[in-house]
Structures are given as C-alpha cells and as structure tokens.
Chain A
Amino acid sequence: MTNAEPPLDGAALLAELAEDRPPPAGPWSQGGAAVVAGLIGVAGLIASARLGLGQLTAPGPGLWPFVISVVITTLAVVLALTGRHGVDTEKFSRSSVTVAIAVATLVLLALALPVIGFEIPSLLLTFVWLRFLGKESWRSSIVISLGTVVAFYLLFVLVLKIPVPRLI
C-alpha cells in the first residue's frame, strides 16, 4: 500500500499527457494563425461584396458571407492583438516529418488508384506506415500489410461487391 504517494490531480495528469506532444510554439505561430485567419476574412469580404450584398429588405447572395467575413476579420485582429502569448499552438518537430511522409503516401495512393487498382498501392502504403512510420519489425510489417490487403479484398470485392478499381 502506498499511502504516502500524493493524490493524482488534474494539473499533474494533464501535464503528463501533454508531455507526449511537441512543446508549444511561440508568438510567431500565434501571429501566423491570426494572419491566415485575417486573409481568409478579407478574401471573403472582397468576394462576397462582388456577389452583391442587396439590402436588408432584399438580401443579395453576398450578404450572409459578407457578415461572416466581417466577423472572421474582426476576430483575427483581436487574435493578433491578444493571442500572442497563447500556448495552444504546437512546434513543428522532427516527428512532423513523419506526417509529411504520411501525406505523400496518401497522395501517391490517390494518384495510383485509378491506374493500377487498389491492391498494390494499399499494400505499399500499409507496409511503409508500419515499417518506417510505425517502426514495426520487418516480419510483422510484411505479415500485417499482406493480411490487411487480403482482408480488404475479401470484404470489398467478394462480400460487399463494391466497385473499387482493381488490378485483376
């Protein structure tokens, strides 16, 4: 029995869970977030003004998006002024490269899908994710990726008879 141990409280637990994530990024990324939001707002303002605002008695197609864009732009300004010291952004770290590689494999799959069917791209994607992104062993990577594709083939092609583009 370990009664001497302090009770677990919210702050300690959240801190512990946060340790698994990259550290917060600084004021630059907060500023960047505000700028991007502001640009979207301004673009929305211009585009919806072009659509025609109409009048309150007869709203044009641009009125509603215009109002939303005004709100976005205003809030972006507030964010730029007040949010500089927020800690809710995350640094891009070495593990962010993993995400970039992952996205690249997804795009390749989408490109290859209509050309050579789903089997080979799926097999390669699963294998790359397991072996290189997930650091699984060679053996389990090969076994699991083969198993996954076979299961998908059985499910999509033989059981559900869904028209997926396929090799054979």
Chain B
Amino acid sequence: MDFLNPVLDGFGVVAQPDNLLYCLAGVVIGMLIGVLPGLGPAATIAILLPITYGVEPVSAIIMLAGIFYGAQYGGTITSVLLRLPGEASSVVTVFDGFALAKQGKAGTALGIAAIGSFIGGTVSIIGLTLLAPLVASVALDFGPPEYAALALFGVLLVATVGNGGRLKSVIAACLGLLLATVGRDTFTGADRFTFANLDLADGIDFVPIAMGLFGLGEILYNLEERQHKRQEPAKISTVWPSRQDLRQSRGAFGRGSVIGFVLGVLPGGGATLSSLVAYAVEKRRAKDPERFGRGAIEGVAAPETANNAAATSSFIPLLTLGIPANATMALMFGALLIQGIPPGPQLVSDHPDLFWGVVNSMYLGNILLLIMSIPMVGVFVKILRIRPAILAPITVLITLLGVYTVANRVFDVFLVIVFGVLGYLMKKFGFEPGPLVLAFVLGSVMEIAVRQSLLIFGGDVTGFFTRPISGTVLAVLIVVLALPLVRQLRKSRQKSPQDKELV
C-alpha cells in the first residue's frame, strides 16, 4: 500500500489553513464568474495570474483549479433561470433546464444539476487518483520524439475540435508557435525576431499574452454585445429534488460521469464537448425522446454531470504528460511555470505534495460547491442582478494594475493592451485565441523536442513514425484529422436530408 502514502499526505497538505482558504476563495470566485455571463474561467484565471506570484505553488494551483471546476457549477444557474448560459459548457442545460423553470421546477433543475456536478466531479477525482500515477510512470520513459508527437497531437486537436473554424484555429495555433520562438535560441544562442529590443531578448512573457488575449480581449469583445432586457429570474421553491427525480436521473449521472471523464482526458475534449455528447446520448437512449427540450430532468443531469467530470479529468494530461488538454489547462501550465515547476511526468514523484494536494483539494472544493449550490443558491441568484456594465471597468482595472505589479513595468501594461486588441480583432475575424495561447505554451517544448529528435535520428524524419509510441500517436492524429474530410466527402455524395440535428 505504498502508493497510498503520498495520497494521504496530500490530505495533510489540503488541511493546512492557508490551502483551505485558497480552495474556498477559488470555488467562490469560480461560482461567481460562472453565474455572471461574460467572463469565462479562462479569462478569470488569466486575469488572476499576477496574484499567484506571491503565493505558495500548491495554494496557487488549488485556487486556480477551484475557479475552473467551480465555474461549471455556477454556469448552470443562469442557464436554468434566465436561459442565458453562463458558460459554454452549460449551453445544452438551457434546453431542459429553462423548460423546467417555466413549469415552476427551477429548484429541481438546480438541485439535480448540483448533485450531478458533485457526482461527476467526485467520480472523476477518483479516476484521476488511480489513473494519473500510472500514466506518469509510463511517460517517464518518453523521449524527445514521443514528446514532439504528443505536443503536436495536443496543439492540432485543440485547434480542430474546439469551436471556431478548423482552418483559422490551426493558423492561430501556428501563430502561437511562431510567437514562442521570439527570443534567444536555446541551441545556438542566436537572437530570433527580437528586433534588437532588450525587452524581447528573453522571449515574450506568457502572462501579458494570456492576460491580453483571454482577459482584456474578452472584455473588449463583450462591450459590443447588445444589452439584454433583463428578465426576472424564475422563482425557486425547493432545491431538494424529489426521490422520483433522483431515480430518473440515476442513469444520466452514471453515463455523464463516464462520458465526461473520458472526453476530458482527450485533448480538445473538455467540458463543452462532453456536455453536448452526454445530452445527445441521453436523448438517444430515452424511450420518449420528445420529452427532451420540454423539461426532461435527464437533460439537465447528464450534461451537468459530464462537464464537471471533464473539467476534473482534463487535469490528467497536464499533470502527467505536461500537455494541456484545453485553453484553461494551458493557463495552468503557465501558472506552474511561473512557480518554477515544469508540469510533466516527474511532477508526481518530484512534487508529490503539490500533485496530491491539488488533486485532493478537489474533493473539498466539490463539497463546498455542493453546499453553495443547494442551501446557499439564493445568494448567487441575487448576484444575477449585477449588470455586466458595472463589472467591465472593475475587471479592466484589475487586469492592468495586476500586470503592472508583476515586474513594476509599464511596458507590460502596454503589452497587455496590444494583445487585448489582438484578441478582440481575432474574435471579430473568426479566429479563436485559445489555440494560440495553448500553442504558445507548448511552443518551446515542441521545438526542443523536435530538434533533439532530429539529432537522435540523424536528420531522418521518418524516425518519428518508426518508434512505436510516437508512431501510434501520429497515426491516430492523422486518422482524427482525416475523419471529418472523409465524412464530408461521403455526405456530399449522399446528400442526406435528415442530418439537421444539432445536438
């Protein structure tokens, strides 16, 4: 039972008063931004990066993780009460959640969603606990070619599976890779693309890029949103679901947990995709699919369970391979680098306190979130009344003053503004900033791995395909990329009229 010792030590780490507080702060912030439409978890984590400089690594990551999975709980509330998804991963919850609210069963929907989120999250943490050390121990034997293949896999999958056009997302990702090459070349010492500017000699810092593209860019983009006529949130009676509702949702909880866990691990999967898939699965399995969209409780249970399970399991590739599975995980990657802890297979053995502290803090976080979503849901419903116009200038100030405090440089403030404008323009022209940031984070890892591999192979590129693991990864990647093209070809040949189903 040797392997249990570090796990148990992890609970000791969580129990430290500081870490308890940061966990609470994280989940409360997550819940808040989930409830408030506009800023997503990625933007919030980006904006809060400067805070993590002065905090212990474990506490910092515990807080950021809390924001991420907390947002999955909070996003439900606006979906159900206002038919306004607080997060992308709660969009499908609107269909049945809002229908239930109109029938006066808003409380039931919220209660089932909270319980589902709790189950999904907890199942996923247990899966993470069992699976992550295993993956990490396998990955310890990986060499540069495997890393090159995995990084490419991660970047391309995130770019093609995520929202936004595939082509544009891959271009954005390549731009991220290119930006990552700015600065001194680690192999030859040559300055690249620095334009003789000293501020650029060490490369572009991750923090202003992330804060600009995700934080400020999103705030600017939201300024153009037409203001909604604020409707009164639906009344909530009891949040405790009846026994019959629970029985009806049981299957959805189970299937949602599994779907979320599996899709969360895959790059590009994550919370949004898994909620869509879980909803579609429930609808297909149901004896009477017409109920869906008219207030089927499974239609709330499945996606809410799945998005939380996915949010949790998407930590696995980051913490075991050092490959972020989505944009938010790319920010976690950056936050770990800020702390001087490179994420990768050594993390479990070299920093067990951090690894198990963060993982185990999620149990606590999920319990706190369950409390906040069931007995205290009224508090968060009140927050719905805050208008986005009031929040925008406050978040802008936090962003600009925050980035200044990192190094006391006005240069960084200007960098954030530049990348904020870039992020806004990218969104206007249909490019997602997510793949760019993710590729930027993986850029130097990938370049070093590719160049080391070339040295190992003596310049023979086919070496990537002949090694078993890197070869398999690349083969899977090619299949995944080719699949939609093949499907498109077949579709245009058949011209089938019945493929209008969106979910």
Contacts and interface: CB of A to CB of B under 8 A. Distances in A.
Contacts of A106: 216, 396, 400, 417, 420
Interface string A101-124: 011001101100110001000100
Given A8-B99, A57-B458, A106-B417, A134 B178 contact: no
Contacts of B177: 68
Interface in B410-454: 410, 413-414, 417, 420-421, 424, 427-431, 447, 450-451, 454
A92 B466 CA distance: 50
Nearest to A20: B226
B293 interface: yes
30 contacts: A7-B293, A13-B83, A13-B91, A13-B95, A17-B85, A19-B226, A20-B226, A33-B431, A40-B175, A56-B461, A57-B455, A64-B451, A71-B170, A72-B171, A75-B167, A93-B224, A99-B424, A103-B220, A106-B216, A110-B400, A118-B401, A122-B401, A125-B396, A126-B397, A129-B396, A130-B389, A144-B390, A145-B393, A148-B393, A162-B405
Nearest to A79: B167
B223 A102 contact: yes
Contact of B400 (A32, A109, A163): A109
Given A56-B454, A75-B171, A145-B393, A113 B404 contact: yes
Interface string B158-171: 00000011011011
Contact of A51 (B99, B102, B170, B190): B190
A78 interface: yes
Contact of B397 (A64, A125, A133): A125
A70 to B, nearest CB: 10
A83 B226 contact: no
B385 interface: no
A61 to B, nearest CB: 4
B174 A72 contact: yes
A51 B228 CA distance: 52
Contacts of A114: 410
A2 to B, nearest CB: 7
B242 interface: no
Interface of A is mostly: helix
B392 interface: yes
Given A103-B421, A134-B390, A65 B430 contact: no
Contacts of B413: 109-110, 113
Contacts of B475: none
B192 A7 contact: no
A59 B454 contact: yes
Given A7-B292, A103-B220, A92 B428 contact: yes
Contact of B401 (A1, A40, A51, A164): A164
Contacts of B294: 3, 7
B95 to A, nearest CB: 5
> Which 9 pairs between the two chains have the least Cβ-Cβ distance?
A7-B293, A134-B389, A88-B430, A10-B502, A56-B459, A129-B393, A57-B459, A61-B190, A61-B185
Contacts of B165: 83, 86, 88
A37 B408 CA distance: 34
Interface of A: 1-3, 7-11, 13-14, 17, 19-22, 29-30, 32-33, 37, 40, 44, 47-48, 51-52, 55-65, 68-69, 71-72, 75-76, 78-79, 82-83, 86, 88-90, 92-93, 95-96, 98-99, 102-103, 106-107, 109-110, 113-114, 118, 122, 125-126, 129-130, 133-136, 140, 144-145, 148, 152, 156, 162-164
A99 to B, nearest CB: 5
Contacts of A93: 224
A99 B401 CA distance: 20
B74 to A, nearest CB: 18
Contact of A20 (B228, B428, B447): B228
A120 to B, nearest CB: 13
A79 B98 CA distance: 39
Given A8-B99, A122-B401, A129-B389, 11 more contacts: A19-B226, A33-B168, A57-B458, A63-B451, A71-B170, A83-B167, A90-B430, A96-B224, A98-B224, A103-B420, A110-B414
B210 interface: no
B167 A78 contact: yes
Contact of B389 (A48, A89, A135): A135
Contacts of B390: 130, 134, 136, 140, 144
Contacts of A134: 387, 389-390, 392-393
A14 B393 contact: no
B498 interface: no
Contact of B170 (A75, A82, A89): A75
A152 to B, nearest CB: 7
Nearest to B415: A110
B292 A152 contact: no
Contact of B417 (A62, A63, A107): A107
Contacts of B404: 113, 164
B393 A126 contact: yes
Interface string B365-389: 0000000000000000000000101
A118 B500 CA distance: 54
A26 B293 CA distance: 34
Nearest to B172: A37
B293 A9 contact: yes
A124 B410 CA distance: 19
Interface string B345-370: 00000000000000000000000000
Contacts of A98: 223-224
Contacts of B408: 163
A1 B103 contact: yes
B273 to A, nearest CB: 14
Nearest to A7: B293
B3 interface: no
B397 A148 contact: yes
B1 interface: no
